[in-house]
């Protein structure tokens, strides 16, 4: 199997060109073609000799492929299906909104976390994505030139695949890569501690924590990851990085995701627990409508309840917003991504 170039750093690309007997400056040329010009084949590398391109093509793969399927929602959201290793598939979602374009990318095929209200959780874990496979969702996106933001909120738990996610983030934010501001990228997690700690030390991108239940016992009932990774421990760790009393020092945004379920986590005592749990943090709470999945006991709160919850939290000093629902008709909204059988259907 050929090695993949996408995702390699300049130092690693220098080792590649040295292997084929080329000077170091060729590595810089390679990085330019991979990350600035977003090429799909070695033949496009016009400032590198054909002999060197042929040698590279014999030993390496670019690591880029176009999506195999596209579905567009009535609201303009577009879901793409990408092929990854071993015949598997993964989904990414492009969300246009006036002059803003957000891409929701996946970091795994399936997920180990097993959240009861998530279709990806039902799929179970199949594979980690390589940095190249993560980056391909971005660089091969037909709407690439419209992108303003990237969120790691697709399939998988990013900090269950920390090394490859951090490598992808480096490419996206480094001067030799996409050179994006880290403030344009958000990574979501249920709170996998070891990976979260690495992310906080090695990246300046924004962070979103999937909270959904403020009481530990309730969270464990619906989100099995609460048992090995208690949200209380996550919050204590984050207080060192996002102290409320020193907001000028914050170089990135912290948010907590909260799906509002009718009759389960929407009562006043649940909201008061959120306020108590997050006290001492500079953060916001994103309230998310629940998107119904087959054979699910969960029912989403009404739009009116979402707005009243937002107002209540704000009145208690917790800045809250309601996230608009997008792409539900094509199974592209939060919690609906699932590719268990897609490899057989496409």
- Active site amino acids: 91, 334
Strand duo 89-97 + 100-104: pairing: antiparallel
Q: What gap in Å lies between CA 112 and CA 130, rounded to an integer?
A: 17
Place of tokens 């916001």: 284
Q: Specify whether the CB–CB gap between 316 and 275 falls below 8 A.
A: yes
Token pair listed for 151: 């969120």
Is 165 in contact with 117 (CB distance < 8 Å)? no
Beta bridge partners of 322: 287
Pairing of strands 125-128, 149-152: unpaired
**φ and ψ at 244, to 5 degrees?**
-65, -30
DSSP state for residue 42 in the 8-state scheme: G
Give Cβ neighbours of residue 230 (< 8 Å, ≥ 6 apart): 191, 216
Q: DSSP labels for 141-163?
A: -TTGGG--EEEE-SSS-GGGSHH
Interatomic CA distance for residues 319 and 42, integer angstroms: 49
């Amino acid at each position: 199997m050929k090695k993949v170039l996408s995702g390699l750093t300049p130092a690693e690309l220098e080792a590649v060109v040295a292997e084929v007997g080329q000077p170091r400056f060729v590595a810089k040329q390679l990085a330019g073609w991979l990350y600035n010009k977003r090429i799909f084949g070695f033949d496009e590398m016009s400032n590198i000799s054909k002999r060197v391109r042929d040698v590279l093509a014999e030993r390496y793969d670019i690591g880029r492929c176009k999506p195999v399927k596209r579905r567009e929602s009535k609201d303009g959201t577009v879901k793409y299906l990408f092929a990854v290793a071993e015949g598997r598939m993964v989904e990414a979602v492009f969300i246009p909104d006036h002059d803003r374009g957000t891409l929701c990318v996946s970091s795994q095929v399936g997920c180990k976390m097993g959240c009861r209200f998530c279709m990806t959780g039902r799929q179970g874990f199949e594979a980690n994505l390589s940095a190249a496979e993560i980056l391909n969702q971005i660089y091969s996106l037909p709407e690439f030139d419209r992108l303003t933001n990237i969120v790691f909120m697709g399939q998988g738990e990013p900090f269950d695949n920390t090394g490859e996610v951090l490598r992808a983030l480096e490419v996206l934010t480094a001067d030799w890569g996409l050179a994006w501001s880290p403030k344009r990228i958000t990574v979501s997690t249920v709170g996998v501690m070891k990976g979260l700690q690495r992310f906080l030390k090695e990246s300046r991108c924004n962070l979103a924590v999937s909270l959904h239940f403020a009481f530990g016992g309730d969270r464990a009932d619906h989100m099995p990851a609460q048992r090995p990774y208690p949200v209380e421990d996550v919050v204590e760790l984050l207080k060192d990085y996002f102290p409320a009393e020193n907001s000028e020092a914050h170089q990135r945004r912290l948010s907590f995701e909260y799906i509002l379920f009718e009759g389960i986590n929407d009562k006043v005592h649940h909201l008061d627990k959120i306020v108590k749990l997050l006290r001492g943090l500079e953060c916001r709470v994103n309230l998310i409508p629940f998107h119904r999945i087959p054979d699910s006991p969960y029912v989403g709160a009404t739009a009116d309840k979402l707005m009243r919850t937002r107002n209540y939290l704000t009145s208690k000093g917790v800045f809250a917003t309601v996230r608009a629902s997008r792409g539900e008709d094509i199974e592209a909204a939060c919690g609906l991504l699932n590719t268990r059988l897609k490899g057989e259907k496409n």
